[in-house]
Amino acid sequence: MTELDQELMRNLIEFSNRYGKDPQYVLAGGGNTSAKSGGVMRVKASGTRLAAIGESGFVAMDRGALMSMFSKDYPADDAARESAALADMMAAVLPGAPGRPSVECMLHALFPQRYVLHLHPALVNGMTCARGGKSACRELFGEAAVWIPLTKPGYTLAKVCADAFKRSESQTGRVPNLLFMQNHGVIAAAETVAELDALMDMVMRRIGERVKTTPAASIEDADEPLESFDLPLEVAPVLRMLYARVVTGMDNGNAIAAFRAKGPTERFVRTSNCESIAPLLKPFNPDQIVYCKAAPLILNEGRDVTEQFAAFVNENGYPPKIAILPGHCVFALGKTKAEADTALDLFDDAAKIARYADAFGGYLPLTDEFTRFILNWEVENYRQKVSFTGGSAKRMERKVCVVTGAAQGFGEGIARAIAREGGYVVCADMNAAGAKSVADSLNEQYGTGTASDVYGLSVNVADEESVARMVGETVLTYGGLDVMIACAGIAIAGGLDTMTLDRFNKVAAVNYAGYYLCAKYAAGVMKRQRAAAPTRTGDIIEINSKSGLEGSKANFAYAGSKFGGIGLTQSFALELAEFGVKVNAICPGNLLDGPLWSDPEKGLFRQYLDAGKVPGAKTVADVRAFYEAKVPLGRGCTVEDVARAVFYIVEQQYETGQALPVTGGQVMLN
């Protein structure tokens, strides 16, 4: 690249990233950008995201070759025409250029200006998706803008725009720098980035001023109690299983049912009056079709969800991406959390468009014919496919897991291992700040949505309301629950002479009753999933202890609670087997490097030293050496040892009611 080309690329990346990171302009990585230098145009590759695009995300193309396509005759048949045009478009890609160019590269080539920005802001589409959009465009922007009526995308749209450009230039004597497309968006072009920014600012300001004259329905921001969503909590696991079965072909496949009751859709869906939903029943633009499909599933309260879902699939030929429960909420369904959240964002965008369109004569959805075209258009199917590509399946791929005690120690390590192996993790702990820190780090490392911290709330497993909320929030975040890992626990050492009843009861409440509560509420969700997917299995796993397999001197409160945990495990396993829920315990050896043992003030090394549990021990180091010497393999247990046991228990389908030792041989079962 020449120095001029390098500067052009820096500018292109800068404004692409800036607009791509701003949700008022870009959702789902939508929109595209380009820059020209000489006869070469560099345009965003299909499926890449503006927010993070770099040099390798742009495809270099021969602008002359693209412009020559406007004078070429193509077949009249839609499929044949677009196929031939796509071949010519790909032939215009310069040798060595990575990726596939945006299908709208011909539109970018049409503008002679150096920089081109194509976006679909909800504010702009409030005008382009309105009955009075064309007249409003003329009133607000005059001859500076070209308006294009609803036109099929691809070569067809590019040719219509080229003809409109010629007419506009002959009438005004200048090349347009603004293009508004009905039910699509806006394209702005300029010689400098500063001019481009000023152009977009003007567009957003003028449309925004018009929209402000139309009052919006008030939206309440107050939090609602979980009880307000009893019906969504019942429906979500069913929807999740039904969608997973369609897209994976099996009952044990995984998917996400993301929930939303607040935000732009609220004024449309939080009423039982189905007429209020009317503006959202048909799509406004191609992006909405790509990520939300052509129509939502409307769930009638009191009717069987499975029957309604099956009827939708039978009528449309595909499973719903959006399901509305009138008066309650909207769900988005996807193979991944990112896919479901993107569908929710696009549906929220549709709600914004419907509201903004009130200022321009009312909403105007896409025609049924146009919608069918987009549904079957290879280019848009390719864009969706590359937007959500993933790697090879991992051991916990897309399983929804709750880990209690996740702020530190075994719990934190298990949460991190699950995320590493492709699972979704709800990090729960009394230490809300610690759980949030773990969740935030997992989202940063593995992608937004990988982890949740129950909205930063402190979770007390010994409190039934707290556990119910934890499980409910999990269902409303991911749509269901596959693995409950009851890891939260406390150890208070002491002999019969020193242990108080209050301390004894505290250990029992967390280690014994807490496990019961986690199992109780997890089982309820897993039963609902099993009802919708008759061969599906779920897992409840207690992180027990070697002290649950043999007594522990001067530590009877802890050992007793863990012995009781194994009794619960066996009893739960018998009760839940008919529902496909496997219940097992893992009995780790001593995590000598974890905070339970090594905390200098409250750790077990210090407690055992003070309690005189280790004969002759003078220091914490003496206590550690004593416990290491008890292990045939000569070391303490690690988090990774326990994580592997978790994966084994989840993967196997023929073990339940078991207590699996992970002790390095310190405890061996008879």
- What is the token pair recorded at 575? 């009760």
In which residue are the tokens 């040719």 written?
A: 159
> Residue 329's closest CA among 224, 424, 242, 400?
224
- Contact between residue 356 and residue 127 where contact means Cβ atoms under 8 Å apart: yes
CA atoms within 13 A on the CB side of 294: 17
> Residue 107's closest CA among 61, 140, 74, 139?
61
Distance from first CA to last CA of the chain, Å, rounded?
Answer: 72
Q: What is the edge-to-edge ordering of all strands in the sheet holding 32-37? A: 58-62, 40-44, 32-37, 115-119, 185-190, 178-181, 145-148
CA-to-CA distance for 637 and 655, rounded, in angstroms?
23
CA-to-CA distance for 41 and 108, rounded, in angstroms?
8
Residue 547 identity (one-letter amino acid): S
Q: Most distant CA pair in the chain: distance in Å?
A: 100
Instruction: Point out the residues that are catalytic.
Output: 558
> Residue 600's closest CA among 573, 582, 619, 581?
619
Nearest-10 crossing angle of helices 464-478, 514-532:
30
- Contact between residue 546 and residue 588 where contact means Cβ atoms under 8 Å apart: yes
Helix (H) or strand (E) segment spanning residue 586: strand 581-588
- Contact between residue 660 and residue 614 where contact means Cβ atoms under 8 Å apart: no
| Beta pairing, strands 178-181 & 145-148 | parallel
Residues 6+ apart with CB under 8 A from 209: none
Question: How does DSSP assign 121-188, residue by residue?
Answer: -HHHHHHHTBTTHHHHHHHHHGGGEEEE-S--TTHHHHHHHHHHHHHHHHHHSS---EEEETTTEEEE
Q: Where are the beta strands (DSSP E) in 275-408?
A: 297-298, 322-325, 329-334, 400-404
- Contact between residue 106 and residue 156 where contact means Cβ atoms under 8 Å apart: no
Q: Which residues of 389-422 are buried (b: 16+ CB within 10 A; e: fewer)?
A: eeeeebbbbbbbbbbbbbbbbbbbbbbbbbbbbb
